[in-house]
Structure 1
Amino acid sequence: MSETEDATDDHDLRRPPERTLVLVPIVRTKADAQGGRDSAARVEEAVGLAAAIDLDVIEGVAVPLASYRPGTLFGTGKVDEIAARLDAEKIGLVIVDHPLSPVQQRNLEKAWKAKVIDRTGLILEIFGERARTREGRLQVELAHLTYQKSRLVRSWTHLERQRGGFGFLGGPGETQIEADRRALSERIERIKVELASVATRRRLQRRTRKRSGQAIAALVGYTNAGKSTLFNALTQSGVFADDRLFATLDPTLRRVELPNGTAIVLSDTVGFVSDLPTSLVAAFRGTLEEVAEADLILHVRDIADPDTEEQARDVAAVMGELDIDASDPDHVIEVWNKIDLIPPDQRPPARRAPTKTGKPAGPTVIPVSALTGEGLETLLTAIEDHLAIDRPIYRVELTADGLTRLHRLYEMGEVLDREDSSEGTVTAHVRVAEGALDRFRKAFPEARLVTKQPPAPEADAAA
């Protein structure tokens, strides 16, 4: 390999960040209302995505369009105008915050004499840099290869470069384009087999946790909503948290102790984003099963963000793809994070909206600040209350001879009350998780079912 080729291959390791222009096409029509998202918010998010991989972003620009052009997305005049700016300011990379067809991408690169990537390519590049575990790397590579199959740019073999990304921001050119499509397809199939093996292992681990009676709560939310900061605050762990989009990619599980003394497993997951590439949702489906099979979902929202409602709708859409109802009051708690950024007199109250039937009309809302710790005790209590729904309660009477089993009551369930008699007997009411029922009944055959769920708390406006 020549020195020139070496320099190209180490492009991102030895050269300063590429000067980058971010373009956000905006079409205001009934058919394409951009989900109601404010154009300034869209530009800010697009620039944030580019900054997530340390590009030298010169500017983020909203580009109003009457319609999308099939050949170049932008109109001829706008293409020429942008080309002149790129040449004058020596900008070598353009990010278009919109899906581009292979034809559009090639035509724009030819007209602008610069590298062009679309929103999907940028998100894949970010994920490629952030994945740390083997599973994460495989998932991103699968998404990337699926994306590349329809494109005639870049070589799939470039995926193994040591910079960690996936080749959109500087590669070997088109020397191996379509050189071996069969090899690409074979690689995709091998990855799917490996991920299937990982998914099977995850299912076995989840089954083991359920048998132990340990509940699982999963954090979900828009990227940069503060999930990892909240995760660290609740678990006293040091998971990487940063004020950047997609700071967390690989799922992490930790133990959290609740106020009643029981413990749950808390799972931190990848953040969602608007227009999340379908290939990524498909590739990460195995990981996202941790969310789908969780006993409780904590939807973390950046309540200080003006775009919080649109972000919540985007998260609900992805949850819908996993057959999860984001408005289910029994399965979801909305955690309104970053209240420290809101003046005290403007902060939203906690709420549990009652209905005529006594069942909440929507998820319980708990305002918190993961940074300062405000509201975290209330959140833990709410988690405790939600997990108690529909759990059976048993009455257990232990004679003096059976007190050696007393500690197992605390290990296998939540002891709600306990009465010690002068004769040395102990009577206790114990709430038992579904996964621990079989073991509990075997250990305490004398236990008698009292009720299938605890008395309903009084419904009020505040949690």
Structure 2
Amino acid sequence: MIEKKNIALEKAVLIGIITKDQDETQSKEYLDELEFLTYTAGGEVVARFTQKMEMPNPKTFIGSGKMEDVRRFIEENKVGTAIFDDELSAAQERNISKILDVKVLDRTNLILDIFAQRAQTSYARTQVELAQCEYLLPRLRGMWTHLERQKGGIGMRGPGETEIETDRRIVRDKIALLKAKIKTIDKQMAVQRGNRGKMVRVALVGYTNVGKSTLMNVVSKSEVFAENKLFATLDTTVRKVVIQNLPFLLSDTVGFIRKLPTQLVDSFKSTLDEVREADLLLHVVDISHPNFEEHIESVNKILGEIKSGDKPTIMVFNKIDAYKAEPLDEDDLGTEKTKANYSLEEWKKTWMSKIGNNALFISAINKSNLEDFKKRVYDEVREIHITRFPYNHFLYPDYNYEDMK
């Protein structure tokens, strides 16, 4: 009989700041997301610390008094990890590690760790490794804790500096090797995409954990891995879908996130080629999330960065089954109605009304309004198909396009 072992979650504390650019509400929202990231990585958040500041402390990110509070809590509760909500410089990471004497991670490092856990294929693992190496390179000096000397010519020509330079060269060589490997795989994938012919390509895009993979499974009747964790999907999955005898290719892509590390955007650009080469984007949004509008902005920003912001797009507002409007306080007559109090019908009358029939409201998990979704996607794909194959549509308006080779 095999004895089941309980895997102990790694205790962690979260640290964030409140600034003029990031108010208290936003800070809480970012820390909520950071807690979900920590859970996804296999950690357990036992406390949060925030501080109001004009800007992060260049030496320790937060002030000395708050840092002492964090240190004391970590010591008393035997916490092994401190996670900061923004990217730390090498100097900040080194200084904080000395004070707290625990593992110190920033948001970027945490996301890279999750990607490393989730990468299944050789391609995804190579992309993650490249991102990790590019993150590591400028931080090598901070990892040499035995070198406590300042920069300068005298006294810096010893073996310690040579050791760092050797490691830098190793990492640079590794980066060059990984880039060459990715370039080779890119060529293979480009050939694969070319072999698909001129079928219409549709890509699911959106914030992480909005239900893209669940929608993919329902529409394509496939078994793409879906889980209520961030970044459940790293590798792009492409499936052939047929609606009313009209075939097209549907791809499920990696989810986006606010403060997405630059290294990841760069190393995963090739994965996002599926988005770049798509004829139609289905921008999936978790409408039950209180900050879904910010999520839309984050996704649109990244789409702009990969030159895909002007593609035909259908907004798919998912998880309508989980949407709940906050009730107004009837006892307080002066309470003004905010977006948090909007019903779904009221939301549809806002800026969403300008999108017209390109705004769909569904529940992928409950299969609500999926027929409307399929019809709208079919109409759009058919329009693209007619543009691409006008001769076939003119001669055979009722042709079974599934038989077209």
Q: What TM-score comes out, normalization by structure 2 length?
A: 0.81
Q: Does 1:336 align with 2:317?
A: yes
How large is the RMSD of aligned CA atoms in angstroms?
A: 3.1
Aligned to 1:201: 188
Looking at structure 1, the residues matched to 373 and 239 of structure 2 have their Cα atoms a distance apart, in angstroms, of: 17
Which entry has the higher C-alpha Rg, 1 or 2? Answer: 1
Change (3 A) 1:362 1:336: same
C-alpha spacing 1:214/1:154, structure 2 compared with 1 (3 Å): farther
Listed as ranges, the matches of 1:373-452 within 5 Å are 373-389=367-383, 391-392=386-387, 428-429=396-397
Q: Go from structure 1 to structure 2 and tell me whether the alpha carbon gap of 1:392 and 1:51 turns closer, same or farther (over 3 Å shift).
A: closer
C-alpha distance in 2, partners of 1:271/1:132?
16
Q: Any unmatched runs of 5+ in structure 1?
A: 1-12, 156-175, 397-412, 417-426, 440-463
1:70–1:376 distance in 2 versus 1, CA, 3 Å: same
Partner of 1:276: 260
**1:371 alignment partner in structure 2:** 365
Name the SS for the 1:386 alignment partner: helix
1:40-439 equivalence runs, <5 A: 40-152=28-140, 153=142, 179-209=166-196, 211=197, 213-258=198-243, 260-325=244-309, 328=310, 331-342=312-323, 346-348=343-345, 364-389=358-383, 391-392=386-387, 428-429=396-397
- Preserved contact between residue 49 and residue 70 of structure 2 (Cα < 8 Å): no
Instruction: State the shift of 1:38 in Å.
Output: 2.6
User: Where do 5+ consecutive residues of structure 2 fail to align?
Assistant: 145-162, 326-341
In the TM superposition, residue 214 of structure 1 has moved relative to its aligned partner by 1.3
Cα deviation 1:92-136 (Å, max 9, x = unaligned): 100001110000001011111111110110000000000000000
CA distance in 1 between counterparts of 2:234 and 2:387 reads: 37
State the 1:378 CA deviation: 1.3
Q: Secondary structure at the match of 1:389?
A: helix
Q: Which residue of 1 aligns with 2:159?
A: none
Are 2:287 and 2:319, in contact at CA under 8 Å, matched by a contact in 1?
Answer: yes
Partner secondary structure for residue 58 of structure 1: strand
- CA shift in 2, pair 1:113/1:384, >3 Å: same
Secondary structure class of the residue paired with 2:51: strand
Q: Identify the residue that residue 171 of structure 1 maps to in structure 2.
A: none
Q: 1:248 to 1:351 in 2, by over 3 A?
A: farther
Correspondent of 1:38 among 19, 26, 43? 26
Where 1:245 maps in the other structure, the secondary structure is: coil
Higher helix share: 2
Counterparts in 2 of 1:316 and 1:395: CA distance versus 1, 3 Å: closer
Aligned residues: 362
1:32-85 CA deviation, whole Å, 9 max, x = no partner? Answer: 247x96332212101000000111221334333232111111111111111111
Q: Distance in 1 between matches of 2:200 and 2:366?
A: 26
**Residues of 2 paired with 1:54 and 1:318: CA distance?**
27
Letter paired with 2:167? D
CA contact (8 A) 1:44 1:60 kept: no
Rounded to whole Å, the distance in 2 between the matches of 1:353 and 1:78 is 42
Larger displacement relative to structure 2 (55-64 or 279-288): 55-64
C-alpha separation in 2, matches of 1:17 and 1:310: 30
- After TM superposition, give the deviation of residue 393 of structure 1 in Å: 8.8
Measure the CA separation in 1 of the matches of 2:169 and 2:390: 64
| CA distance, structure 1, for counterparts of residue 130 and residue 188 of structure 2 | 19
Cα distance in 1 for residues equivalent to 2:62 and 2:49 = 13
Query: Is 1:26 matched up with 2:18?
Result: yes
Does the aligned pair in 2 maintain the 1:350–1:366 contact within 8 Å? no
User: 1:76 and 1:379, CA in 2 relative to 1: closer, same or farther beyond 3 A?
Assistant: same
Aligned to 1:166: none
| TM-aligned CA deviation for residue 361 of structure 1 | 5.8
Query: Which moved further from structure 2: 135-144 or 235-244?
Result: 235-244
